[in-house]
Structure 1
Amino acid sequence: MSELIPISLIASPHEEQAWNRQQLSVPVSEPQVRFWAYEAPGVVLGCSQSGLVSAVDAAHRAGMPLAGRQAGGGAVLVGPWMLSVSVIVPVTHPFALGGALTGYRQIGEGFAAVLRDLGIDAHAVTPEQAKSAQERDAGSSLQWACYGGLSPWEVVANGKKIVGLAQVRRRTGVLVAAGLLLSRPDWPDLCRAVGKPAGDADLLALRTTSCAEELGWEPTLPEVAIGLRRHLQETIRSSTSPDSRVFSFGNRLIQNSEADELLV
């Protein structure tokens, strides 16, 4: 029997954040992995950014929804250019027991390996490399944006950020969330939504890259998700088959060949 890989196509980032909260609202009994794709743009703020912008202001300025997440970090612009993943494990799982950096490392190195398989020169940033980058960027105007800086085990390609990470640790379980840039986001829209200067959009474009920019073409969601699932299975020791070709798309189950048509 083929493994079911959930890829949820959502209209608003509220759905993703609500699912994440729900999973951690009760004790996690077994690892879970869920992939997210987005029909339209939206802004997700870190837990300490509630004063950055209101939902009303974001809707008025850029016509997009705004959601808050339990994890810290900077603002993220989700949209059709991004594939996100939520990895949730019990607190007793080795993935969680190793500490925050262990979870980040496992996810970051998995993303980097999959990107290299696609032909992208990607690697996960070590804590030492991240510290150097943070010292270099001290006082940067982009500290409000997730993709404006680097943290340990986030992924870069040719020196530019392509995968961002966030984590939530609770007594009920641990969540690591990641976002991969498949194509270039609309950085000016993000700056408009949160009331930041247009120049910040130019800086974000300089500090980031995407699969499409690195490859000259954009891989399909199933292509990336299948590779990631295989790596994540090894990491969290899932008991399900790594050779899946069946996806959950909304409320439908679709074969990978059909997914390629629907998700390009």
Structure 2
Amino acid sequence: MRCRLLIDDAAGSGSWNMAVDEALLESAPSGTDVTLRWYRWQEATVSLGYFQKSGASDRSRFGSLPLVRRLSGGGAILHHHELTYSCTIGPQHPLAADPTQLYGQVHSAIIDVLAGFGVKAAMRGRKIDEVEHLFLCFGRGDSRDVVMDGHKILGSAQRRRRGAILQHGSLLMRKSIYAEEFPGLCDLSGVDVPEDELLAAMASRVGEALTTTVEPGSLTDEERALAVELEEQKYRLLDWSAPRPAVAPDVTAR
């Protein structure tokens, strides 16, 4: 088993980024590789969780920003000054039997890399139930969040389909002018971490945590074609998930 590493050369729109993640999840059940993708956003964008209502009043201050809906659940995320990852594993991967362990594997690897850049972070270790109603994900508190001085700098979520798992997450580098209450790792540490160097180090370390061999790769023709179709027919529509089912066991929250 190897890890196919995808690092997007250009920042993408919200609809494209989410379409590619779903295309990778669709191809995961029939493949034997892990796919690890790192990407950025071409402009500040708000992604709504699968279950969130598009007319939520709490998002009124973001009305001028592009909106997209994620495949995963949880609170809304303001994607701005961040590095974003996704990884997909198929049913044959050892972690597929207990997908919750994937959070720990990925987050621990990122924590180790951050330490090498002089940034001390750790997993929260406990869930904070009283903030689960908040609109923005980074105001919520999961036990597996990566935090610095009590501030969340990394949150992840999963979607499961036909035995395969998609996990994606946002690593907050710096605070955004649109949500100044959420400082990033550079703000909290006082370290001006070079993003390209950090991304390269995390790509290697996370890939090694999931497989024994990490190799650069690219989207297949089939994955790219599916992503184009998904972007046009699904992710350009904000309310593609409606009507939402009362119970969706394959969606886990950020």
Give 2:135's aligned residue: 144
2-side partners of 1:19 and 1:162: how far apart?
A: 24
Matched, 1:43 2:70: no
Shift of 1:83: 0.3
Quick one: higher RCO (CA 8 Å, sep 6+), 1 or 2? 2
Contact 1:212–1:219 (Cα < 8 Å) also in 2: yes
Partner of 1:71, secondary structure, is coil
Shift of 1:61: 5.8
Alignment of 1:58-97 (within 5 A): 62-79=63-80, 81-97=81-97
**Structure 2 counterpart of 1:178, one-letter code:** G
Q: TM-score, normalised by structure 2?
A: 0.74
Q: Which runs of 4+ in 1 moved over 4 A?
A: none
Shift of 1:8: 4.2
Shift of 1:73: 0.5
Q: Which runs of 5+ in 1 are unaligned?
A: 189-200, 248-264
Partner of 1:187, secondary structure, is coil
2-side partners of 1:34 and 1:168: how far apart?
A: 15
Shift of 1:13: 1.1
Give 1:260's aligned residue: none
Shift of 1:234: 2.1
Partner of 1:228, secondary structure, is helix
Contact 1:142–1:148 (Cα < 8 Å) also in 2: no
Give 1:154's aligned residue: 145
Partner of 2:8, secondary structure, is strand
Partner of 1:186, secondary structure, is coil
Contact 2:48–2:54 (Cα < 8 Å) also in 1: no
Change (3 A) 1:41 1:7: same
Counterpart selection for 1:232 from 201, 206, 225: 206
**Structure 2 counterpart of 1:222, one-letter code:** D
**Structure 2 counterpart of 1:48, one-letter code:** F
| Number of residue equivalences | 213
Contact 1:157–1:209 (Cα < 8 Å) also in 2: no
1-side partners of 2:107 and 2:189: how far apart?
A: 20
Give 1:187's aligned residue: 178
Partner of 1:112, secondary structure, is helix
The farther-off stretch of 38-47 and 60-69 is: 60-69
2-side partners of 1:14 and 1:226: how far apart?
A: 25
**Structure 2 counterpart of 1:182, one-letter code:** M
2-side partners of 1:28 and 1:13: how far apart?
A: 26
Matched, 1:107 2:106: yes
**Structure 2 counterpart of 1:65, one-letter code:** P
Partner of 1:38, secondary structure, is coil
Change (3 A) 1:4 1:45: closer
Give 2:98's aligned residue: 98
Contact 2:109–2:202 (Cα < 8 Å) also in 1: yes
The one-character-per-residue Cα deviations of 1:195-245 (angstroms, maximum 9, x if unpaired) are xxxxxx6xxx1xx4312212324323221112212221222114236xx8x
Contact 1:106–1:235 (Cα < 8 Å) also in 2: yes
Matched-pair identity in %:
23
Change (3 A) 1:187 1:35: same
**Structure 2 counterpart of 1:20, one-letter code:** D
**Structure 2 counterpart of 1:123, one-letter code:** A
RMSD: 2.8
Shift of 1:32: 0.5
Contact 1:183–1:213 (Cα < 8 Å) also in 2: yes
Shift of 1:50: 3.2
